[in-house]
Amino acid sequence: MEQTSMNSNNNILEVSGLKQYFAVKTGFMKTRDLKAVDDVSFNIEKGETLGLVGESGCGKTTVGRSIIRLYDPTAGEVSFDGEPMTEKNVTQMRRNMQMVFQDPYSSLNPRMTVEEIVAEPLVIHNLYNNRKERKEKVLELLALVGLNPEHATRYAHEFSGGQRQRIGIARALAVDPAFIVCDESVSALDVSIQAQILNTFKRLQRQLDLSYLFIAHDILVITYMSDRVAVMYLGKIVELAETKEINKNPTHPYTESLYSAVPIPDPITARESERIMLKGDVPSPLNLPSGCSFRTRCAYATEHCAAQTPPLTDRGGGHFVACWNR
C-alpha cells in the first residue's frame, strides 16, 4: 500500500492540553482571564465523528475555533495527521481543516453568487487557477451536496436555510479537507430539514472519508451523528465515551442530568428516567468555583471536590469521567 502519511496511528486529530483564555475587562484598567477552554485533550480517528455537547457558553465553539487556529491557543498542542501544528505550517494545514457554521443566513455573503462563494476558498488557496477548471470544480461540488448547476449563478439570499447550509458545506469541501468542524450546523434549521442535512453530512463522510468534530447542544442530534461523545462543562471535558455507552451509562452527574431530559429513541437504551433538575445557575466563567467547577450544582459534592479538580480518567473501554464520586 502506498504510504500517504507519516502518521503511524489512526488519528486524524490529536488535541492535548488545549487552553483558550480571553482577557476580559472587568473594570477600569482591570482585566481577568476568562477560561473558555481549560486543559482539553482528545483524539479523533480517521473517518470518525466526535460529538461535542454541553450547554450554551461551555466552550464548544472556542474548542473548534482554536483547533483550526481562528484563535491562537493560550496553551496546548494540536496535531493533524501526526504532525504538530506550528506557526510555520498553519496555513498549509488549515486547508485540511474546515468549519461549517451555525447560521447559514449570516455566514454567506449576500452580494456574492453561489459560484463565487464556493470558489472563494479555491482562489484564496490558489487552486484551480484556470477559470474553466474552477467552474467545473464548483459544479462538481454543487452536485456533491445536492444542488443543481443552475444554482451557481444565483445569490445566497434566494435560497432556503437548508439549501444555504448545503452551499456552506460545498464551500467547506472546496479545498478537499480531511477534517471538518461542524458547529451547530443544523441548529438554525427546521427539524425535517435538519434530518436531510445530517444525512448529507453522513453520506459525504462515507464518500470522502471525512472526520468530523460535531458540535451541538441537542443530544438527539449528537447521538445520531457521533461515534463517540465528549461532554463539556465550563471549559472542561467532564465525560467522553462511545455514543452507545454514554447513552446507556451516563456517569458524570452533569451528563446524567443532561441525558435525563432526553428520550433516546433506542429500545436497548430506553430507560425509565426522571428528569434530573440541577440546582442553581451555571457559575460565571470569570469566577469559577475551586476544585471541580460542577460541584456547586452537584448533589454528590463533598469537601474533596472543592479542594481538588478531578482528572478525566478511563473507567474501562475508553469511557472517561472526571468525577471524584462516580
Ligand X SMILES: Nc1ncnc2c1ncn2[C@@H]1O[C@H](COP(=O)(O)OP(=O)(O)OP(=O)(O)O)[C@@H](O)[C@H]1O
- Which one of residues 14, 38, 50, 59 is an interface residue with ligand X (CB under 6 A)? 59
Binding of residue 67 to ligand X (CB under 6 A): no
Among 12, 18, 51, 62, binds ligand X (CB under 6 A): 62
Give the H or E element holding residue 237.
strand 236-242
Q: Using the rule CB under 6 A, is 181 a contact of ligand X?
A: no
Site string for ligand X, 184-203 (x = CB under 6 A): --------------------
Considering the complex, state which of residue 11 and residue 61 has its C-beta at the smaller distance from Mg ion.
61
Q: Are strands 83-84 and 75-80 parallel, antiparallel or unpaired?
A: antiparallel
Which residues lie closer than 8 Å to 99 by C-beta, 6 or more apart?
64, 65, 68, 70, 172, 180, 181, 182, 183
Among 73, 285, 291, 310, binds ligand X (CB under 6 A): 285
- Is residue 24 at the binding interface for ligand X, with CB under 6 A as the rule? yes
Closest CA to 288 of 306, 311, 313: 306
- Closer by beta carbon to ligand X, 55 or else 83: 55
The residues near 312 (Cβ < 8 Å, ≥ 6 apart) are 41, 236, 237, 238, 239, 240, 320, 321, 322
Q: Which residue in the set 12, 36, 138, 246 belongs to the binding site for ligand X (CB under 6 A)?
A: 36
Determine the 3-state secondary structure of 211 from DSSP.
strand
- Footprint of Mg ion (CB under 5 A): 61
- Determine the Cα–Cα distance for residues 149 and 143; give it in Å rounded to an integer: 7
Contact stretch for ligand X (CB under 6 A) within 54-62, 188-196, 238-246, 260-268: 54-62
Tell me if 97 sits within 8 A of 179, measured CB to CB. yes
Closest CB to Mg ion among residues 61, 255: 61
Look up cell 447542544; give the residue: 217
Q: Which is nearer to Mg ion, 63 or 264 (CB)?
A: 63
Residue 61 vs 247, nearer CB to Mg ion: 61
Partner interacting with residue 22 (select from ligand X, Mg ion, none; CB below 5-8 Å by kind): ligand X
Smaller CB distance to Mg ion: residue 61 or 226? 61
Strands 320-321 and 236-242: antiparallel
Please report whether residue 283 would count as binding ligand X according to CB under 6 A.
no
Q: How far apart are CA 30 and CA 226, in angstroms?
A: 42
Size of the site for ligand X (CB under 6 A): 14
Instruction: Answer yes or no whether residue 60 interacts with ligand X by CB under 6 A.
Output: yes
Distance of CA 95 to the CA centre of its chain: 17
Residue 310 contact among ligand X, Mg ion, none, beta carbon within 5 to 8 Å by kind = none
177 near ligand X, rule: CB under 6 A: no
**Shortest Cβ distance from residue 34 to ligand X (Å)?**
5
Contact between 305 and 295 under an 8 Å Cβ cutoff? The reply is yes
Report the residue number, 37 or 167, with the smaller CB distance to Mg ion: 37
12 within 8 A of 44, measured Cβ to Cβ: yes
Site of interaction with ligand X (CB under 6 A): 22, 24, 34, 36, 54, 56-62, 217, 285
